Amino acid sequence: QVRLVESGGGLVQAGGSLRLSCTNSGRTSLTYRMGWFRQAPGREREFVAAISWTGGVTFYADSVKGRITISKGNAKNTMYLQMNTVNPEDTAVYYCALSFRGSISDLRYDYWGQGTQVTVSS
């Protein structure tokens, strides 16, 4: 009932910007929080940012504070990740995630998208 699809990934030059999108085309009425994670080859999945669906409270990994902004779209079923001043260490597959419960600081999520590739060239 939850169908998460990411988009907006691609190749970007270091120092540039891009915006990732996540759309839930399935069940949306009980969305409590959503987040972004990323995973580079040979690395474990890493938390990036999260947002509560009521109130819009945000929570960021220390490594991306000031460069990355998570936000809700105008539509109830959309979420964005604005990435600025990207560097090659941002290269990864980016996944969006959704949970019907829990704190935005809880790194556990119940539903995941398939991911979108972000590659930053130096």
Structure tokens at 42: 């040979």
The per-residue pLDDT for 120 is 98
The per-residue pLDDT for 55 is 87
| Phi-psi map region of 70: left, alpha, beta (phi>0 left; psi -120 to 50 alpha) | beta
The per-residue pLDDT for 26 is 86
pLDDT less than 50: residues of the chain: none
The per-residue pLDDT for 1 is 82
The per-residue pLDDT for 54 is 86
Beta bridge partners of 19: 82
The per-residue pLDDT for 69 is 98
